[in-house]
Amino acid sequence: MDRAERGRYDRSVPESPQRVLVVEDEAPIRDGLLSLLRAQGLAVSGAADGRAALEVLGQERFDLVVLDLMMPHVTGLEVLRHLRGRGEDVPVLVLTAKGSEEDVVSGLEAGADDYVTKPFGIRELVARAKGLLRRPRAEKPDDARIARRTGVIAEGCRATIDFDLHRVDDGATSITLTTREASLLEHLVTHRERIVTREELLVEVWGYRDGTIRTRTVDVHVQQLRAKLEKVKGGARWIATTRGKGYRFDAELA
């Protein structure tokens, strides 16, 4: 990350800059990320390991966490699980080793919102970070509020999707979705009359301004969502793929 390249991304600092925490144990990468994100007008803090990250996350609120998964002592995956376990919905962008698909899947299953692989390009990382920062934060479920529920019938079996509680239930089995998985499923259900492209999902669900950015995050999330839905009667066929175009919700609403 040379100074000349970082300069192309300089932006004026807003009155109330969004706050980002960078968790990375390799000092050169952490320092480069801090400089890069500060050049975008963001208020950036750094943590050298998972323990330090948990400490600062317990004391301060951030708008985005950039989290390396491979760290000694307390891993990034443990940090992520701790965050989601206590109900924190802060967007998390994980950093993974090149070719480590298992880490990507584990991170998304634990509640990560997006990922980039090392070595990463500056344009890619900035685009991912800004996309997550533009995403509206989900409201906390309110017990007094009536949950939005949708009945689904597929292969003669009926299930219920609760979009507020992020839950799918067929009477015998109940599965819990991540916030991202629930948003993805809701968008597909809402636009079930047509094929939904990956580009549309990146803009409408992930919050990217430009859906043409190259990333497999949509496909990986769909894969993970399908794996969960397979546990529900008839759920294996809810999401259909149209090769080269996108996805479609292929079930009847009750």
Q: Do 51 and 102 belong together in one domain?
A: yes
CATH number at residue 55: 3.40.50.2300
Which pTM was predicted? 0.65
Q: Do 77 and 106 belong together in one domain?
A: yes
Q: Do 10 and 95 belong together in one domain?
A: yes
In whole angstroms, how far apart are CA 110 and each of 49, 65, 127? 18, 14, 22
Q: Do 213 and 95 belong together in one domain?
A: no
Cα separation, 70 vs 23, whole angstroms = 10
Q: Do 246 and 223 belong together in one domain?
A: yes
Tokens representing 220 are 């990986």
Q: Show the domain range for 76.
A: 3-134
pLDDT tens for the chain, residues 1 to 254: 444 444 343 443 445 789 999 999 999 999 999 999 999 999 999 999 999 999 999 899 999 999 999 898 899 999 999 998 887 889 999 998 866 778 888 888 788 888 888 888 888 899 889 988 887 655 544 443 345 788 898 888 899 999 888 899 999 999 999 888 998 999 999 999 999 999 999 888 887 776 666 778 898 899 999 999 999 999 999 999 998 899 999 999 98
User: How many structural domains does the chain have?
Assistant: 2
Q: Do 154 and 129 belong together in one domain?
A: no
For residues 91 and 180, is the Cβ–Cβ distance under 8 A? Answer: no
CATH number at residue 156: 1.10.10.10
Q: Do 68 and 155 belong together in one domain?
A: no
Cα separation, 68 vs 116, whole angstroms = 10
Count of CA atoms in the C-beta half-sphere (13 A) of 248 = 13
| Environment class of 65 (CB within 10 Å of its CB; exposed 0-12, middle 13-18, buried 19+) | buried
Cα separation, 112 vs 148, whole angstroms = 24
Which residue from 226, 30, 27, 11 is spatially nearest to 133, judged by alpha carbons?
11
